[in-house]
Amino acid sequence: MDTDTRESRILDESLFLLDELGVAPTGRLPRSMVGARWRIGMRTGTAKHITAAEAAGMVESGMWLDFGVALCQPDVFDQALAARTGELSDVKIRSCLSVKPRAFLEADPESAHFQSYNWHFSGYDRAKHDAGCCTYIPLNLGEVPDYYRRFIDRVDIAVLKTAPIDERGMFNFGPSNLWHRALVERAKVVIVEVSPSMPWVHGDQNGVHESEVDFVIDGDAAPLAELKNPPPTEIDRAVARQIAGEVEDGACVQIGIGAMPNAACSLLAESGVRNLGVHTEMLTDGIIDLCKAGCVTGARKTLDPGKAVYTFALGSQSLYDAVARNPDMQCRPVDYTNLPHQIMQNDRVVSINNTTQIDLQGQAASESDGHRHLTGTGGQLQFVRGAYASKGGKSFMLLSSTYERKGVRKSRIVLDLTPGNIVTTPRSDVMYVVTEYGMTNLKAKSVSERARALIALAHPDFRDGLERAAREHGLLPRPVALAGRTARARS
């Protein structure tokens, strides 16, 4: 059936329904289609094709909507919803990691009509938070499916971008599994926005059957959003060099986002390490490069041997092409990838993540700058704990020793965290800390031993000041006078 014929049929059916209900045509679906059977989550078994405008017309003031995560966030529906901004109020929209500007936020810069709630910030989300248009939801990422099933009231309307329907009647989530199955289960109305650009990806629970879908709208064919990583600096490579020798043949890696973790991938590829496994939250271009270099086989994995397992992918089109219909790349729910009791089932798990600030006791702040929220907890803490529980496992916290702000160089290793900074990984969990000046393992170290070890990783220009501050605040013993001379007490 061609597009014109299908749209004509939809219009005829809609007008017939409106006539039966005694409602004048308004260009959007009537309240009854979001009430009665729809509001209690009953499906007819046949998903109905409607326009984006009709789908957006189902939204009423006070509703909760959910746009899902990253590449699954809808675009055509978002634009249609933005067109109704002036008609709505107190519409709450939950989402995560926006990969492009959201039309509903751009149409409502004062947040007079829409309220945005976000599980993890992208750069765009951070800017909207700075403007007062978005708020963060604290989490451990691997727990979110359970949040939907146990703690979150049923969502009025869930809208997800998917691949076109397949031969089994499934709308595939592409390389973004996460908690989308739990969201579908808890939504009163499920709408899919079908995009031919979304790749079909292998993975457990990585889609929704047409019998679970209420409405289908046609998305656009725009290319998927890409996340370009900046090329690694010499400092990034210096940090990465510290850990390359710590990753053994047969290790199972989780590698986070950013230039430093990607530099680690490059150096691992050059190191000749073999038979790596992958069990990670985010699949990155760096991991794909490791696969292409022949470093990844998954042969020594206990859980999912021979498979690279992840919960979402974000990067270049080359990354999306690599996972499309590739049975060796498995996109699984986030409670499968991120919960520590799952992670620990593989031996020699190596977790590699960034942090932005660490204090002299080892608290890692990775998601905020004081009270200004930057990103999110994500799965960092869960992978740190899962790696530790793994037989022979290791976790690495990477950071450059300094950063610059308004032309002033500052240390990332500090006596005290910036007031308001959020502790992402507690001191009791941090294992290896790595800067361009070296690496230390904080496990089993006393407070004074930690302080000395971390000061040694700081930039030389800041070491003396950090040592003085540590002594003044009791983290290091003060010098002790002995027989008319001064000696430093041993810690």
Query: Do the Cβ atoms of 137 and 117 come closer than 8 Å?
Result: yes
| Tokens found for residue 88 | 């709505």
Residue 444 falls in which region: left (phi positive, over 0), alpha (psi -120 to 50) or beta: left
CA–CA dist 243, 267 (Å, integer): 9
Determine which helix (DSSP H) or strand (DSSP E) holds 290, and give its type and residue range.
Answer: helix 285-292
The verdict on whether 281 is a catalytic residue reads: yes
CA–CA dist 421, 368 (Å, integer): 6
Query: Do the Cβ atoms of 321 and 291 come closer than 8 Å?
Result: no
Question: How wide is the angle at C-alpha 337 spanned by C-alphas 331 and 339, nearest 5°?
Answer: 160
Query: Do the Cβ atoms of 279 and 305 come closer than 8 Å?
Result: no
CA–CA dist 334, 143 (Å, integer): 8
Q: What is the DSSP string of 236-284?
A: HHHHHHHHHTT--TT-EEEE-SSHHHHHHHHHHHHHT--SBEEE-SEE-
Query: Do the Cβ atoms of 120 and 375 come closer than 8 Å?
Result: yes
Burial 249-286 (b: 16+ CB within 10 A, else e): ebbbbbbbbbbbbbbbbbbbbeeebebbbbbbbbbbbb
CA–CA dist 148, 439 (Å, integer): 39
CA–CA dist 427, 361 (Å, integer): 6
Q: Which of 281, 367, 436, 467 is catalytic?
A: 281
Query: For residue 407, what is the DSSP state?
Result: T
Q: Which of 224, 103, 116, 99 is nearest to 163 (CA)?
A: 224
Determine which helix (DSSP H) or strand (DSSP E) holds 405, and give its type and residue range.
Answer: strand 402-405
Query: Do the Cβ atoms of 466 and 448 come closer than 8 Å?
Result: no
Q: What is the DSSP string of 427-462?
A: TTT--EEEETTEEEE-TT--HHHHHHHHHHHS-HHH
Residues tagged active-site: 281
